[in-house]
Amino acid sequence: MERKTPMSASPGSGIEQRKLEHVEIVLGKNVEYRLKKTGLEQIEFAHNALPEINYGDVSLETTFLGKKLQAPLIVTGMTGGYGKAEEINGDIAAACEKEGVAFGLGSMRAIFERPELASSYVVRRRAKSVFLCGNIGGIQLKAIDMRRLQKVLAEVGCDALCVHLNPMHEAVQKEGDLDWRGVLSAIEKTCKQLDIPVIAKEVGTGIGGPQAKQLEAAGVKAIDASGAGGTSWAGGVESFRGGRPEADTFWDWGIPTATAVAECVSTVKVPIIASGGIRNGLEAAKAIRLGAALAGGASPFLKAQAAGGEAGVRTLIQRWKNELKMACFGTGSSNLQALRKARLLQGQ
């Protein structure tokens, strides 16, 4: 298969170059799962030919971790830590604010290694009230000073911290972190010491029920199941980056999104975010029907920003909201509570 291809000139070294390569690969290469699907394609709503509701009255409003949202959507964390990321994050955050949905930053590890890169995460100038999630790797928590983490999150203006779990992604990187002992205890310590909620998230290979139970016991306030079926970071992205030769073998590794969400919802009481291969508002509606509090995506919005800036992202969010509202209307659901009880086709 095609492997690493020349990237743009490095804006720096180390972590900056890695972040740039990640974005360029997602934008320019086909890194979707080859064989594995999200599982959402197997879920079909039963059409309601007599909805007995006014389409204009359908409400998508919800509350997540104390924050009111216009729709149960989140643009999940993607990037940060290099020059161009400031514009990307700013455009997406501004669009999310105007559309009343949540937004997640990419990994903030770069700030701790090179503080001068902090500007690529500062979006409050353009999005003063958006529900903003910071982001740090679970494995990095073992070595980060909590007082410094608290300070960084406060300076950026984060409403919550996403702790991302990506062991397989790290395993196939030549520069990956492989000692995952103590990650759970580091998450528990973080939950106890931070004054904002902690959300545990995967990066596209899924969180299963047993791990969700461990994370809830550790104190996380929400879990992003982030299942398989969308962007393959371990196999796809790292194969193109020139990762370990084994990367291609793990292209389709992971728990499908629908399975991960269903396992988490049935195992824990904290809110579940559904992401991983969700590509439109109908798929978001299916995730909500499975019990997710929010549904989200990353690469579609990254591509929308690359093509049309803030306006491009707003247009895509509006489309997802419209599709989600249409799914509610087509099932006779006047709100999200009703959608979660909408009838499915027999056998599902």
Give the DSSP per-residue string, 98-110. HHT-EEE----HH
| pLDDT at 270 > cutoff 50 | yes
The arrangement of secondary structure in 21-339, i.e. its CATH architecture, is Alpha-Beta Barrel (3.20)
What percent of the chain is predicted at pLDDT more than 90?
Answer: 92
Distance, in Å, from the CA atom of 32 to the CA atom of 49, rounded to the nearest integer, reads 36
The amino acid sitting at 307 is A
Element (H, E) at 133: strand 132-137
Q: What SS3 state is found at 267?
A: helix
How confident is residue 29, by pLDDT bands cut at 50, 70 and 90?
A: very high
Task: Give 219-260 pLDDT, tens digit per residue.
Answer: 999 999 999 999 999 999 999 999 999 999 999 999 999 999
| pLDDT at 2 > cutoff 70 | no
How confident is residue 8, by pLDDT bands cut at 50, 70 and 90?
A: very low
| pLDDT at 287 > cutoff 60 | yes
Q: What pLDDT shows up at residue 172?
A: 96
Q: What pLDDT shows up at residue 211?
A: 98
Q: What SS3 state is found at 295?
A: strand
Residue 126 dihedral angles phi and psi, to the nearest 5°:
-105, -15
Give the CB-side neighbour count of residue 28, counting CA atoms within 13 A: 14
Per the CB < 8 A criterion, the answer to whether 190 and 149 are in contact is yes
| pLDDT at 267 > cutoff 80 | yes
Dihedral angle computed from the Cα positions of residues 65, 87, 22 and 80, in that order, rounded to the nearest 10 degrees: -50
Q: What pLDDT shows up at residue 6?
A: 32
Beta strand 294-297 with 198-202 is unpaired
Per the CB < 8 A criterion, the answer to whether 62 and 101 are in contact is no
Task: Give 124-142 pLDDT, tens digit per residue.
Answer: 999 999 999 999 999 999 9
Task: Give 44-97 pLDDT, tens digit per residue.
Answer: 999 999 999 999 999 999 999 999 999 999 999 999 999 999 999 999 999 999
Annotated domain spans of the chain: 21-339
How confident is residue 16, by pLDDT bands cut at 50, 70 and 90?
A: confident
Q: What pLDDT shows up at residue 259?
A: 98
Task: Give 42-53 pLDDT, tens digit per residue.
Answer: 999 999 999 999
